[in-house]
Amino acid sequence: MIGPAKNSVPATNPTKKLLLSPDSIINLDHGDPTMFEPYWRKLGEKCTVEISGSDLMSYCSDIGNICWFLEPQLSDAIKRLHRTVGNAVSEDRYVVVGTGSTQLYQAALFALTSPGGAEADPISVVCAAPYYSSYQEETDFLRSGLYKWAGDAYSFDKDGPYIEIVTSPNNPDGAILEAVVNRKEGKLIHDLAYYWPQYTPITHPADYDIMLFTFSKSTGHAGSRIGWALVNDKVVARKMTKFIEVSSTGVSKESQLRAAKILGVAIEGCQHSDSENFFKYGQCLMAERWEKLRDVVKNSQIFSLPKYPQEWCNFISKYSESHPAFAWLKCKEDTNCESLLRAHKILTRGGERFGVGQEYARISLLSRERDFNQFLERLSGIKTAGQGIRTT
């Protein structure tokens, strides 16, 4: 998925401002949130953490807490952040920290299905298509006897217990979603990675049994591998903690410390004027990118994009529409959208990976500005659905 792409633009060195040659590959396959770097760079020292050689040596952070490897200052920052942004109920919830929300998704599956029975069938895991392409792989890669991917929630018709993942706003298509199966035997995991003001209007504080969030998408710090779950039920929190204990004996304390610091600065910024407020800044930036993208697509005979309704956002105190982290681009019928874009050296992820047709492709809008602009330029040059590279 992520990983080496021959001849692609080095993602690691923001300072080397390589000019993009028409030959370079633009990798917009995964949602690497590097667009937020300039904001954090501008803040300078304020977000800097200093860690000395003897700090953070123990496995333990807080042995009195169910999640014994969670740094108390991170737990505090997370709760304050949700109060400030108003996107989730965090009072009286257990916080479980994970190595990204990737690990927490698996922890939640484990918590909802273990210990399982020796004879019992693995529990079905479903999600409404188009769904985030990694869920399937994360669910099935170890061929667990506890749980098993069962695909699109809309076509799920097996009796008995199941787990449904609700991703809202949805990856890949940005839609605001609710559970679709709605049966008594079901358990829900809400993946709210993108429920932040820069991506979508905050209409109410989310209030579900298991809510997953991530530092990767909230502030753009994907390299830290910090995610968190807000969990209602003590037994579930305990089992999720157990999963992370067995799978990695906890979560990097350096990352936790830094996340606590940066979330603290973000919270403080919410008291300030627009450009100092990370979420308002992000909201403007995403709105700008979407405007530019819609301009290009409007003039295209081939491509289309979803439309999003206007909603009141409690955070920015304005009506606004969603500006998702990904563009869910549709090609006119019978065109393989991913292949077409690849022929123009734009790497994206095709619809089939999300459980739908190949006329769709998902494109990250979180890249560095240079790549985003280059992407728009190439996109606007695609005039026919033929596979060749444009010859302009």
Ligand X SMILES: Cc1ncc(COP(=O)(O)O)c(C=O)c1O
**Scanning residues 142 to 181, which ones bind a second copy (CB under 8 A)?**
142-146
The structure tokens listed for 71 are 């740094």
Q: Could you tell me the end-to-end alpha-carbon distance of the chain, in angstroms, rounded to an integer?
A: 31
**Exposed / middle / buried, residue 224 (Cβ in 10 Å: 0-12, 13-18, 19+):** buried
Sign of CA dihedral 83, 87, 89, 95: negative
36 is a site residue for a second copy (CB under 8 A): yes
What is the rounded distance in angstroms from the CA atom of residue 130 to the CA atom of residue 329?
Answer: 13
Tell which positions 347-376 bind ligand X, by CB under 6 A.
none
190, 221, 280, 330: residue in contact with a second copy (rule CB under 8 A) = 221
Minimum distance, C-beta of residue 353 to a second copy, in the bound complex (Å): 14
29 is a site residue for ligand X (CB under 6 A): no
CB 240 within 8 A of CB 96: yes
Number of residues lying near a second copy (CB under 8 A): 86
69, 110, 132, 162: residue in contact with ligand X (rule CB under 6 A) = 132
Stretch that binds a second copy, among 8-16, 154-162, 317-325, 371-379 (CB under 8 A): 8-16
From the list a second copy, ligand X, none, partner contacted by residue 2 (C-beta under 5 to 8 A by kind): a second copy
**Exposed / middle / buried, residue 70 (Cβ in 10 Å: 0-12, 13-18, 19+):** buried
267 is a site residue for a second copy (CB under 8 A): no
By rule CB under 8 A, what string of x and - marks binding of each residue 54-73 to a second copy?
Answer: x-xxxxxxxxxxx-xx----
CB 66 within 8 A of CB 234: yes
The structure tokens listed for 53 are 């050689």
Minimum distance, C-beta of residue 300 to a second copy, in the bound complex (Å): 30
101 is a site residue for ligand X (CB under 6 A): yes
- Give me the amino acid identity at 138: E
113 is a site residue for ligand X (CB under 6 A): no
Beta bridge partners of 76: none
Contacts of 281 (CB under 8 A, 6+ apart): 39, 274, 275
What is the rounded distance in angstroms from the CA atom of residue 312 to the CA atom of residue 139?
Answer: 36
Stretch that binds ligand X, among 81-89, 96-104, 258-266, 368-376 (CB under 6 A): 96-104
What is the rounded distance in angstroms from the CA atom of residue 125 to the CA atom of residue 140?
Answer: 10
CB 49 within 8 A of CB 72: no
Tell which positions 116-145 bind a second copy, by CB under 8 A.
116, 134, 137-138, 141-145
Minimum distance, C-beta of residue 123 to a second copy, in the bound complex (Å): 12
Stretch that binds ligand X, among 100-108, 253-261, 300-308, 341-349 (CB under 6 A): 100-108
From the list ligand X, a second copy, none, partner contacted by residue 386 (C-beta under 5 to 8 A by kind): none
From the list ligand X, a second copy, none, partner contacted by residue 193 (C-beta under 5 to 8 A by kind): ligand X
What is the rounded distance in angstroms from the CA atom of residue 274 to the CA atom of residue 197?
Answer: 13
Tell me how far CA of residue 259 lies from CA of 97, 102, 163, 280, 293, in angstroms: 11, 17, 30, 19, 32
Minimum distance, C-beta of residue 124 to ligand X, in the bound complex (Å): 20
Stretch that binds a second copy, among 26-34, 168-176, 194-202, 334-342 (CB under 8 A): 26-34
Binding site for ligand X (CB under 6 A): 31, 100-102, 132, 167, 171, 191, 193, 214, 216, 222, 227, 249
